[in-house]
Homo-oligomer: A and B are copies of this chain.
Amino acid sequence: MPVIEFAKQREYGVIINTYGSGGMGLSDNIEETYRLGADGWIFFTERALENKGEVLQQPYPVVLGGDYLSYGKCDQVTMPNTEAVRFAVGRLLDTGVRTIAVIGASPDMHGWEDVRDQRDGTQSLRIQGYVQAHEERGLTVDWRYVIPLLGWNQHGGVQAAASMLDSLPCPQSVLCLNDAIALGAIHELQRRGLRVPADVQLIGFDNVPESEYSVPALTTIDPHVDDYAKHAVDMLIERIEGYSGPARTYTTDFTVVERASTKLAR
């Protein structure tokens, strides 16, 4: 938890309140934040905020994390979701790969019209990058290879890879929208006798510790989570200590960490 580390370096303590994670939205947790009486809160949200972010207008300092709009109501840290995927998919396309599956779409994404106008959301932003990389090269996306997935974990990766291979020819490459999905997908591909990367290349997203030690080691998009956490903490503490300027957005940089699951390295 880098937020805890960076807060400690600044001599602040961290309270984590998870009540309501999952079933309920952020607005249901606001009352609890008053009871716990922290100097400020970093809200991580995994769903869109209703009411155009009014929940973010609190009497205490707030920084928003997650891939959803803050509507300019508070400081925000984000990842370069679209740009990072666009770059990584572009790298694959530029080496001559033509069939790239993407695992981790929402079940309601059946074509570009379902994604194009979305302004937030992890899946939408990343899939936009996937499509843009194709469009920039005059290539058409085969939407059969945009594979939906509900559980963003290893088991979900196994199931999505299995259902893809049961109904479609094996793609030349697979981009998984997080590393856990990718580790499941690698497992299922190899279980079926497909060689990674000789038969199918794989890229994940997150650069979790496990990605370095999978067999083969996983190429992945590193969204610089430490930098993300550091800026969330720094912006919050600035507000706590009196800064009252307009709401800011900090977007991390990214790196494609090339390992053995792809043949990208020249």
Contact = CB atoms under 8 A, between A and B. Distances in A.
A8 B19 contact: yes
Interface in A1-57: 1, 4, 8, 13-21, 23, 32, 35-37
Contact of A14 (B19, B183, B184, B186): B19
Contact of A213 (B20, B36, B158): B158
Contacts of A19: 4, 8, 13-15
A240 B96 CA distance: 63
A1 B18 contact: yes
A162 B120 CA distance: 45
A179 to B, nearest CB: 10
Nearest to A32: B13
Contacts of A212: 154-155, 187
A59 interface: no
A213 B153 CA distance: 11
Interface in A107-166: 153-155, 157-158
B18 A4 contact: yes
A237 to B, nearest CB: 15
A214 interface: yes
Interface residues of A, number: 35
A210 interface: yes
Identical chains bound together, number:
2
Contact of A187 (B20, B23, B215): B215
Contacts of A209: 153-155, 180
Contacts of A37: 35
Contacts of A155: 209, 212
Contacts of A17: 13-16
Contacts of A213: 154, 157-158, 183-184, 186-187
Contacts of A35: 37
A38 to B, nearest CB: 9
A58 interface: no
A183 B210 contact: yes
A19 B11 CA distance: 10
Interface of A: 1, 4, 8, 13-21, 23, 32, 35-37, 153-155, 157-158, 180, 183-184, 186-187, 190, 209-210, 212-215, 217
